[in-house]
Structure 1
Amino acid sequence: MMIDELTSLVDEYLRSPRSLAFVDLAERLRTEGRLEAAVRVALTGLEHYPTLSAAYDVYARILLDIGDLDRAETIWRELLERDRRHVGALTGLGGLYARKGDYDSALDHLERALSVDPADPAVVQALMRVRRAAEDAEGDATSAQASEQTLFRGLDGAGRGMLLADRHGQMLGGRLETPAGDEVSEPAAAHVASVAREATRTADMLGLGPWLWLTIEAAAANLHLSAPDDQSLLLVVRDRSMPAGRLARLAERAAETARGWLGEQIL
């Protein structure tokens, strides 16, 4: 999002705090990871519009990002009591139940959302993500690990140091392990999405345009974060012995592999 768009929303909100601009502003702040500000804007707006469904929907998404799943679920359930075809509530609950590992409930809500609005890209993408996650969950640990390693097969570190995630923090493929050998793929995917949001916010604030990649040097390893496309994120981790230039080339090869794999999922 360009910084002038956020500025325009803020200006409109400040000129007229009772206007409905607070809904879009709260959502913009949420997507940029500015969750405390998003909460304040949403709650202030709800004081003026205590029955506005769109405001409650945005507030529930903010709560989900914060990690308050119980309150988010309560709000979305109340929205569905008013309107059983509320796409935002159905989609939100689908994502929430997927996060809890209840894939049957997640798919049920997302398929209901799709039946209401088959052309909504957010619903379609969410349904694809949850279907993949449900399929992965059906296998045992051995088959799951084999599936994770297949995506980047043949690349250095494919079985332990390459992770593909979507912009919402959902793991799509690959595998990430600590130096001790503990798998941290799923929590790492959530953190990667948060880092990407902050990088986008900072680049926009400084007027630098879209960020291309991030390189991080740590005590035990070097990390390279990039975006194979506008919906995904790729983290490549290798030990400190790999030079930065070689790490960047390895990451680009992995990104090419990821783009090909993502294209196959859409077909």
Structure 2
Amino acid sequence: MGYLDRFSLEGKTALVTGAAGGIGQAIAVAYSKAGAKLILLGHRNNLDETTQLIEEGGGSAHQVIIDLEDVESLPAYCEDLLSQFQIDILVNNAGIIRRDEASDYSIDNWNAVMNTNVNALFLLTQHLARPMLERKEGKIINIASLLSYQGGVYVPAYTASKHAVNGLVKAFSNEWAKDGIQVNGLAPGYIATNNTKAIREDEKRNQSILERIPAGRWGEAEDLTGAAIFLASEASNYMNGHTLIVDGGWMAR
């Protein structure tokens, strides 16, 4: 096997949650180009664009519509998926953000964020990892955040959820590394997606962010794809419980 062959995903099946756009879409398309078959998971019938991009590149994708806030239904969905596919790579990318001052933050907002960002991630990982454990092989990548390390403002639930996502990287890895499962995280910096549109349109906030990023620009979703392929490939077989930060240098400041 050549050195670069270790980055190939040929013959693998990857499930990417939150695959309709942004980071999830970029990772799904990159995995397809690296040779993987894709299962795209979204909560609305809005996966056609990602599917089209994959098919235009000669790949294949299967769409699955699941509401991740409905955590009670997730075990049955997982069993259905596992009856159809062998999932080799799981990317827990789906997440939501609800903004408000901490003193006014509603329990409904808190529960919505925690159900989608943490509880659903835990259940999907728990169920979809079981066949990986039996095969002694698999890759699990949790999409974390700079707010896995910092507090942010007006996003207490999102911050708590992303700290939890980072913690689960370590917790799962501590149990499963011995079984040939690599569980790692990927923490994007400030990426130009729909989730950050409001911040980018705030001239003062946008400028303060750019001034701290040594690279001098917002990231694009495609900036994360090299790291995502690495974490899903044989090239990362001895990486366990680590969250790789791709942030243009933000955390170095």
Alignment TM class, shorter chain as reference: 0.3 to 0.5
Q: What TM-score, normalized by structure 1, do the two folds share? A: 0.31
Where relative contact order (Cα < 8 A, 6+ residues apart) is larger, the structure is: 2
Higher helix share: 1
Q: What TM-score, normalized by structure 2, do the two folds share? A: 0.32
